[in-house]
Amino acid sequence: MLEQVLDSNKLKELKSILEESKSVVLTCHMSPDGDAVGSTNAFGLLLRSMGKQTAVITPDQAPYDLAFVPGFNEMTAYTRNPIKAERLISSADLILCLDYNGLKRVAQMAPFIRQSNARKVLIDHHLHPEDFADLVISQPEQTSTCELVYRVFDQLGYMDLVDTPIAECLYTGMMTDTGNFSYNSNHPDIYLMVAELVRRGVNKDRIYKLACNTSSESRMRLIGYAIAEKMELYPEHKASFIVLTRDDLDRFNYQSGDTETLANMPLAIPEVVWSTFFRQENGYVKVSMRSEGNFAVNTFCSRYFNGGGHLNAAGGEFRGSMEEAIATYHQLLNDLSKLQ
Protein backbone atom coordinates (compact mmCIF):
# COMPACT_ATOMS: atom_id res chain seq x y z
CA MET A 1 0.00 0.00 0.00
CA LEU A 2 1.43 3.36 -1.05
CA GLU A 3 1.70 6.28 1.33
CA GLN A 4 -1.30 8.61 0.78
CA VAL A 5 0.51 11.85 -0.01
CA LEU A 6 -2.17 13.77 -1.90
CA ASP A 7 -4.66 16.19 -0.43
CA SER A 8 -8.06 14.44 -0.41
CA ASN A 9 -10.05 17.64 -1.15
CA LYS A 10 -7.96 18.32 -4.24
CA LEU A 11 -8.35 14.73 -5.36
CA LYS A 12 -12.13 14.97 -4.96
CA GLU A 13 -12.14 18.16 -7.01
CA LEU A 14 -9.91 16.57 -9.66
CA LYS A 15 -12.19 13.54 -9.87
CA SER A 16 -15.27 15.63 -10.53
CA ILE A 17 -13.43 17.79 -13.09
CA LEU A 18 -12.24 14.65 -14.93
CA GLU A 19 -15.66 13.05 -14.84
CA GLU A 20 -17.42 16.19 -16.12
CA SER A 21 -15.01 16.85 -19.00
CA LYS A 22 -15.47 15.45 -22.50
CA SER A 23 -12.60 16.86 -24.51
CA VAL A 24 -9.21 16.96 -22.83
CA VAL A 25 -5.95 18.48 -24.06
CA LEU A 26 -2.80 17.30 -22.31
CA THR A 27 0.25 19.59 -22.45
CA CYS A 28 3.85 19.47 -21.26
CA HIS A 29 6.97 21.66 -21.36
CA MET A 30 9.03 22.46 -24.46
CA SER A 31 11.93 20.14 -25.31
CA PRO A 32 9.81 17.29 -23.94
CA ASP A 33 11.70 14.59 -22.03
CA GLY A 34 10.72 11.08 -20.92
CA ASP A 35 8.71 12.38 -17.98
CA ALA A 36 6.82 14.94 -20.09
CA VAL A 37 6.00 12.47 -22.88
CA GLY A 38 5.30 9.65 -20.38
CA SER A 39 2.98 11.62 -18.09
CA THR A 40 0.92 13.24 -20.86
CA ASN A 41 0.42 9.97 -22.72
CA ALA A 42 -0.29 7.96 -19.55
CA PHE A 43 -3.02 10.40 -18.54
CA GLY A 44 -4.25 10.74 -22.13
CA LEU A 45 -4.56 6.99 -22.71
CA LEU A 46 -6.32 6.51 -19.37
CA LEU A 47 -8.86 9.27 -20.10
CA ARG A 48 -9.42 7.84 -23.58
CA SER A 49 -10.21 4.46 -22.07
CA MET A 50 -12.85 6.31 -20.01
CA GLY A 51 -14.46 7.40 -23.30
CA LYS A 52 -13.12 10.96 -23.51
CA GLN A 53 -11.67 12.72 -26.52
CA THR A 54 -8.01 13.38 -25.83
CA ALA A 55 -5.10 15.11 -27.55
CA VAL A 56 -1.51 15.42 -26.36
CA ILE A 57 0.05 18.70 -27.53
CA THR A 58 3.73 19.49 -27.05
CA PRO A 59 5.15 23.02 -27.56
CA ASP A 60 7.84 21.65 -29.90
CA GLN A 61 8.71 18.28 -31.38
CA ALA A 62 9.58 15.52 -28.87
CA PRO A 63 12.85 13.73 -29.68
CA TYR A 64 12.48 10.65 -31.84
CA ASP A 65 14.37 8.67 -29.16
CA LEU A 66 11.06 8.60 -27.28
CA ALA A 67 9.11 7.12 -30.20
CA PHE A 68 8.72 3.86 -28.24
CA VAL A 69 6.44 5.59 -25.70
CA PRO A 70 2.81 4.54 -26.37
CA GLY A 71 0.89 7.46 -27.88
CA PHE A 72 4.03 9.16 -29.26
CA ASN A 73 2.90 9.03 -32.89
CA GLU A 74 -0.42 10.71 -32.15
CA MET A 75 1.05 13.74 -30.39
CA THR A 76 0.77 17.17 -32.03
CA ALA A 77 3.76 19.52 -31.85
CA TYR A 78 2.67 23.19 -31.80
CA THR A 79 5.69 24.31 -33.84
CA ARG A 80 4.87 21.77 -36.56
CA ASN A 81 1.12 22.25 -36.71
CA PRO A 82 0.08 25.45 -34.93
CA ILE A 83 -3.37 25.64 -36.55
CA LYS A 84 -4.33 22.13 -35.43
CA ALA A 85 -2.87 22.76 -31.95
CA GLU A 86 -4.79 26.04 -31.56
CA ARG A 87 -8.02 24.37 -32.74
CA LEU A 88 -7.60 21.50 -30.27
CA ILE A 89 -6.84 23.89 -27.40
CA SER A 90 -9.78 26.16 -28.18
CA SER A 91 -12.26 23.26 -28.38
CA ALA A 92 -11.12 21.54 -25.16
CA ASP A 93 -13.15 21.74 -21.96
CA LEU A 94 -10.17 20.65 -19.84
CA ILE A 95 -6.45 21.32 -20.21
CA LEU A 96 -4.08 19.21 -18.15
CA CYS A 97 -0.69 20.86 -17.59
CA LEU A 98 1.78 18.11 -16.80
CA ASP A 99 5.46 18.36 -15.83
CA TYR A 100 5.69 22.16 -15.91
CA ASN A 101 5.17 24.87 -13.33
CA GLY A 102 4.59 27.99 -15.41
CA LEU A 103 3.38 29.12 -18.83
CA LYS A 104 6.86 30.33 -19.78
CA ARG A 105 7.73 26.64 -20.18
CA VAL A 106 5.22 26.17 -23.02
CA ALA A 107 6.66 29.03 -25.15
CA GLN A 108 4.34 30.14 -28.00
CA MET A 109 1.50 27.97 -26.71
CA ALA A 110 1.19 30.09 -23.54
CA PRO A 111 -1.35 32.70 -24.78
CA PHE A 112 -3.70 30.00 -26.14
CA ILE A 113 -3.68 28.12 -22.87
CA ARG A 114 -4.10 31.32 -20.85
CA GLN A 115 -7.02 32.59 -22.97
CA SER A 116 -8.82 29.26 -23.24
CA ASN A 117 -12.14 28.93 -21.40
CA ALA A 118 -11.34 25.30 -20.54
CA ARG A 119 -10.70 24.37 -16.95
CA LYS A 120 -7.00 24.00 -16.25
CA VAL A 121 -5.38 21.52 -13.91
CA LEU A 122 -1.66 21.59 -13.17
CA ILE A 123 -0.05 18.33 -12.03
CA ASP A 124 3.68 18.77 -11.56
CA HIS A 125 6.75 18.19 -9.43
CA HIS A 126 8.74 21.42 -10.03
CA LEU A 127 9.14 24.01 -7.28
CA HIS A 128 7.16 27.27 -7.17
CA PRO A 129 4.11 26.65 -9.40
CA GLU A 130 2.66 29.73 -11.10
CA ASP A 131 -0.93 30.57 -10.31
CA PHE A 132 -2.62 30.14 -13.72
CA ALA A 133 -4.58 26.89 -13.25
CA ASP A 134 -7.97 26.31 -11.56
CA LEU A 135 -6.56 23.37 -9.63
CA VAL A 136 -2.90 22.94 -8.72
CA ILE A 137 -1.49 19.58 -7.64
CA SER A 138 2.16 20.44 -7.09
CA GLN A 139 4.36 17.94 -5.27
CA PRO A 140 8.06 18.86 -5.59
CA GLU A 141 8.97 15.95 -3.33
CA GLN A 142 7.93 13.49 -6.06
CA THR A 143 10.84 12.47 -8.26
CA SER A 144 8.84 12.63 -11.48
CA THR A 145 5.48 13.76 -12.75
CA CYS A 146 4.91 10.13 -13.74
CA GLU A 147 5.31 9.08 -10.10
CA LEU A 148 2.84 11.78 -9.12
CA VAL A 149 0.39 10.68 -11.85
CA TYR A 150 0.69 7.09 -10.59
CA ARG A 151 -0.20 8.30 -7.08
CA VAL A 152 -3.12 10.33 -8.48
CA PHE A 153 -4.46 7.25 -10.34
CA ASP A 154 -3.98 5.14 -7.20
CA GLN A 155 -5.76 7.57 -4.89
CA LEU A 156 -8.57 8.18 -7.41
CA GLY A 157 -9.18 4.42 -7.70
CA TYR A 158 -8.22 4.32 -11.42
CA MET A 159 -5.55 1.62 -11.19
CA ASP A 160 -7.86 -0.94 -12.82
CA LEU A 161 -7.57 1.10 -16.01
CA VAL A 162 -3.75 0.97 -16.07
CA ASP A 163 -2.93 -1.48 -18.87
CA THR A 164 0.48 -2.27 -20.38
CA PRO A 165 0.78 0.86 -22.60
CA ILE A 166 -0.17 3.20 -19.73
CA ALA A 167 2.21 1.34 -17.40
CA GLU A 168 5.00 1.78 -19.98
CA CYS A 169 4.36 5.52 -20.15
CA LEU A 170 4.51 5.84 -16.34
CA TYR A 171 7.62 3.69 -16.04
CA THR A 172 9.44 5.74 -18.70
CA GLY A 173 9.11 9.01 -16.75
CA MET A 174 9.92 7.43 -13.40
CA MET A 175 13.03 5.86 -14.88
CA THR A 176 14.32 8.83 -16.90
CA ASP A 177 13.80 11.46 -14.15
CA THR A 178 15.81 9.35 -11.68
CA GLY A 179 18.61 8.39 -14.08
CA ASN A 180 17.41 4.78 -14.07
CA PHE A 181 16.85 4.95 -10.29
CA SER A 182 20.33 6.27 -9.58
CA TYR A 183 19.39 9.56 -7.85
CA ASN A 184 16.39 10.83 -5.83
CA SER A 185 15.36 7.23 -5.77
CA ASN A 186 15.52 5.99 -2.21
CA HIS A 187 11.84 6.11 -1.34
CA PRO A 188 10.59 2.52 -0.94
CA ASP A 189 7.22 3.42 -2.55
CA ILE A 190 8.98 3.80 -5.91
CA TYR A 191 9.80 0.09 -5.92
CA LEU A 192 6.25 -0.88 -4.99
CA MET A 193 5.16 1.11 -8.04
CA VAL A 194 7.85 -0.43 -10.26
CA ALA A 195 6.78 -3.92 -9.16
CA GLU A 196 3.16 -3.12 -9.98
CA LEU A 197 4.06 -1.66 -13.38
CA VAL A 198 6.17 -4.73 -14.23
CA ARG A 199 3.23 -6.91 -13.14
CA ARG A 200 1.08 -4.99 -15.63
CA GLY A 201 3.39 -5.88 -18.50
CA VAL A 202 6.28 -3.38 -18.47
CA ASN A 203 9.51 -4.90 -19.75
CA LYS A 204 11.89 -2.67 -17.78
CA ASP A 205 15.03 -3.95 -19.49
CA ARG A 206 13.59 -3.10 -22.90
CA ILE A 207 12.58 0.40 -21.81
CA TYR A 208 16.03 1.02 -20.30
CA LYS A 209 17.69 -0.06 -23.54
CA LEU A 210 15.41 2.15 -25.65
CA ALA A 211 15.41 5.22 -23.41
CA CYS A 212 18.92 5.24 -21.97
CA ASN A 213 21.19 3.00 -23.95
CA THR A 214 20.40 3.64 -27.61
CA SER A 215 22.36 6.15 -29.65
CA SER A 216 23.01 7.14 -33.21
CA GLU A 217 26.65 6.99 -34.26
CA SER A 218 26.76 10.79 -34.65
CA ARG A 219 25.38 11.36 -31.16
CA MET A 220 27.94 9.02 -29.64
CA ARG A 221 30.74 10.88 -31.47
CA LEU A 222 29.31 14.26 -30.37
CA ILE A 223 29.32 13.18 -26.70
CA GLY A 224 32.87 11.80 -27.04
CA TYR A 225 34.04 15.05 -28.64
CA ALA A 226 32.32 17.19 -25.99
CA ILE A 227 34.01 15.31 -23.14
CA ALA A 228 37.44 14.91 -24.78
CA GLU A 229 37.81 18.31 -26.42
CA LYS A 230 35.38 20.75 -24.83
CA MET A 231 35.17 19.96 -21.11
CA GLU A 232 37.02 22.45 -18.91
CA LEU A 233 37.56 21.89 -15.20
CA TYR A 234 37.82 24.57 -12.52
CA PRO A 235 39.16 22.65 -9.51
CA GLU A 236 38.93 25.66 -7.17
CA HIS A 237 35.17 25.60 -7.67
CA LYS A 238 34.82 21.82 -8.15
CA ALA A 239 33.23 22.87 -11.43
CA SER A 240 33.14 21.61 -15.01
CA PHE A 241 32.09 23.59 -18.06
CA ILE A 242 31.18 22.37 -21.56
CA VAL A 243 30.28 24.66 -24.45
CA LEU A 244 28.93 23.38 -27.77
CA THR A 245 28.68 26.00 -30.51
CA ARG A 246 26.48 25.78 -33.58
CA ASP A 247 29.56 24.66 -35.58
CA ASP A 248 30.23 21.83 -33.11
CA LEU A 249 26.60 20.71 -33.33
CA ASP A 250 26.50 20.88 -37.13
CA ARG A 251 29.71 18.88 -37.39
CA PHE A 252 28.00 15.97 -35.62
CA ASN A 253 24.58 16.38 -37.28
CA TYR A 254 22.97 17.34 -33.94
CA GLN A 255 19.39 16.20 -33.42
CA SER A 256 17.13 17.40 -30.62
CA GLY A 257 17.73 15.23 -27.53
CA ASP A 258 21.31 14.30 -28.46
CA THR A 259 22.83 16.17 -25.50
CA GLU A 260 20.13 15.14 -22.99
CA THR A 261 22.48 13.44 -20.51
CA LEU A 262 25.68 15.37 -21.25
CA ALA A 263 25.37 17.79 -18.32
CA ASN A 264 25.29 14.88 -15.84
CA MET A 265 28.42 13.17 -17.09
CA PRO A 266 31.19 15.31 -15.52
CA LEU A 267 29.66 14.62 -12.07
CA ALA A 268 31.16 11.12 -12.37
CA ILE A 269 34.52 12.77 -11.61
CA PRO A 270 34.82 12.79 -7.80
CA GLU A 271 36.38 16.28 -7.86
CA VAL A 272 33.38 17.76 -9.70
CA VAL A 273 30.19 18.67 -7.84
CA TRP A 274 28.87 21.33 -10.21
CA SER A 275 28.52 20.79 -13.96
CA THR A 276 27.49 23.43 -16.51
CA PHE A 277 26.68 22.88 -20.17
CA PHE A 278 25.95 25.60 -22.76
CA ARG A 279 24.43 24.74 -26.14
CA GLN A 280 24.11 27.39 -28.83
CA GLU A 281 20.59 27.71 -30.22
CA ASN A 282 19.10 30.21 -32.69
CA GLY A 283 19.25 33.56 -30.87
CA TYR A 284 19.93 32.18 -27.42
CA VAL A 285 22.13 29.84 -25.41
CA LYS A 286 20.50 26.86 -23.66
CA VAL A 287 21.97 26.45 -20.20
CA SER A 288 21.93 23.21 -18.19
CA MET A 289 23.40 22.78 -14.71
CA ARG A 290 23.71 19.72 -12.51
CA SER A 291 25.16 19.40 -9.02
CA GLU A 292 25.66 17.02 -6.15
CA GLY A 293 24.81 17.44 -2.48
CA ASN A 294 23.36 20.72 -1.27
CA PHE A 295 25.04 22.91 -3.90
CA ALA A 296 21.97 24.65 -5.36
CA VAL A 297 22.06 25.30 -9.11
CA ASN A 298 18.46 26.49 -9.51
CA THR A 299 19.34 29.82 -7.85
CA PHE A 300 22.20 30.40 -10.32
CA CYS A 301 19.94 29.55 -13.26
CA SER A 302 17.24 31.94 -12.13
CA ARG A 303 19.63 34.77 -11.16
CA TYR A 304 21.99 34.63 -14.13
CA PHE A 305 20.25 32.68 -16.88
CA ASN A 306 16.56 33.50 -16.81
CA GLY A 307 15.60 29.98 -15.73
CA GLY A 308 15.18 27.78 -12.68
CA GLY A 309 14.60 24.16 -11.76
CA HIS A 310 15.52 21.83 -8.94
CA LEU A 311 18.34 21.99 -6.37
CA ASN A 312 20.55 19.55 -8.33
CA ALA A 313 19.18 19.89 -11.89
CA ALA A 314 18.34 23.25 -13.39
CA GLY A 315 18.40 25.11 -16.65
CA GLY A 316 17.69 28.35 -18.39
CA GLU A 317 18.07 30.38 -21.54
CA PHE A 318 20.58 33.16 -22.03
CA ARG A 319 19.31 35.72 -24.55
CA GLY A 320 22.50 36.92 -26.19
CA SER A 321 25.63 35.68 -27.88
CA MET A 322 27.69 32.68 -26.78
CA GLU A 323 30.55 35.07 -25.89
CA GLU A 324 28.26 36.99 -23.53
CA ALA A 325 26.94 33.77 -22.01
CA ILE A 326 30.49 32.53 -21.37
CA ALA A 327 31.40 35.93 -19.86
CA THR A 328 28.39 35.60 -17.53
CA TYR A 329 29.56 32.15 -16.42
CA HIS A 330 33.02 33.57 -15.63
CA GLN A 331 31.38 36.44 -13.75
CA LEU A 332 29.52 33.82 -11.70
CA LEU A 333 32.80 32.03 -10.92
CA ASN A 334 34.31 35.39 -9.89
CA ASP A 335 31.37 36.22 -7.66
CA LEU A 336 31.72 32.81 -6.00
CA SER A 337 35.45 33.35 -5.45
CA LYS A 338 34.66 36.58 -3.59
CA LEU A 339 32.23 34.75 -1.33
CA GLN A 340 34.72 32.02 -0.48
Kindly list the residues in this chain that would bind ligand 5GP in the complex (CB under 6 A): 126, 263, 288, 307-310, 313-317
Burial of 89 (0-12, 13-18, 19+ CB in 10 A): buried
Given candidates 6, 28, 29, 35, which one binds Mn ion under the rule CB under 5 A? Answer: 35
* In the complex, minimum distance from the CB of residue 289 to ligand 5GP, in angstroms, rounded to a whole number: 7
* In the complex, minimum distance from the CB of residue 174 to Mn ion, in angstroms, rounded to a whole number: 10
* In the complex, minimum distance from the CB of residue 126 to ligand 5GP, in angstroms, rounded to a whole number: 5
Task: Identify what 99 binds: ligand 5GP, Mn ion, none; CB under 5 to 8 Å per kind.
Answer: Mn ion
- Per CB under 5 A, contacts with Mn ion among 137-156 are 145
Instruction: Using the minimum distance from each CB to ligand 5GP, give the nearer residue, 112 or 300.
Output: 300
Task: Identify what 126 binds: ligand 5GP, Mn ion, none; CB under 5 to 8 Å per kind.
Answer: ligand 5GP
Instruction: Using the minimum distance from each CB to Mn ion, give the nearer residue, 101 or 155.
Output: 101
Instruction: Using the minimum distance from each CB to ligand 5GP, give the nearer residue, 90 or 215.
Output: 215
Site string for Mn ion, 168-207 (x = CB under 5 A): ---------x------------------------------
Instruction: Using the minimum distance from each CB to ligand 5GP, give the nearer residue, 30 or 75.
Output: 30
Instruction: Using the minimum distance from each CB to Mn ion, give the nearer residue, 155 or 176.
Output: 176
Task: Identify what 35 binds: ligand 5GP, Mn ion, none; CB under 5 to 8 Å per kind.
Answer: Mn ion
Task: Identify what 219 binds: Mn ion, ligand 5GP, none; CB under 5 to 8 Å per kind.
Answer: none
124 near Mn ion (CB under 5 A): no
SS3 readout for the chain: CCCCCCCHHHHHHHHHHHHHCCEEEEECCCCCCHHHHHHHHHHHHHHHHCCCEEEEEECCCCCHHHCCCCCHHHCEECCCCHHHHHHHHHHCCEEEEECCCCHHHHHHHHHHHHHCCCEEEEEECCCCCCCCCCEEEECCCCCCHHHHHHHHHHHHCCHHHCCHHHHHHHHHHHHHCCCCCCCCCCCHHHHHHHHHHHHCCCCHHHHHHHHHCCCCHHHHHHHHHHHHHHEEEEHHHCEEEEEECHHHHHHCCCCCCCCCCHHHHHHHCCCCCEEEEEEEECCEEEEEEEECCCCCCHHHHHHHHCCEECCCEEEEEECCCHHHHHHHHHHHHHHHHHHC
Given candidates 6, 18, 89, 99, which one binds Mn ion under the rule CB under 5 A? Answer: 99
* In the complex, minimum distance from the CB of residue 138 to ligand 5GP, in angstroms, rounded to a whole number: 13
Binding site for Mn ion (CB under 5 A): 35, 99, 145, 177
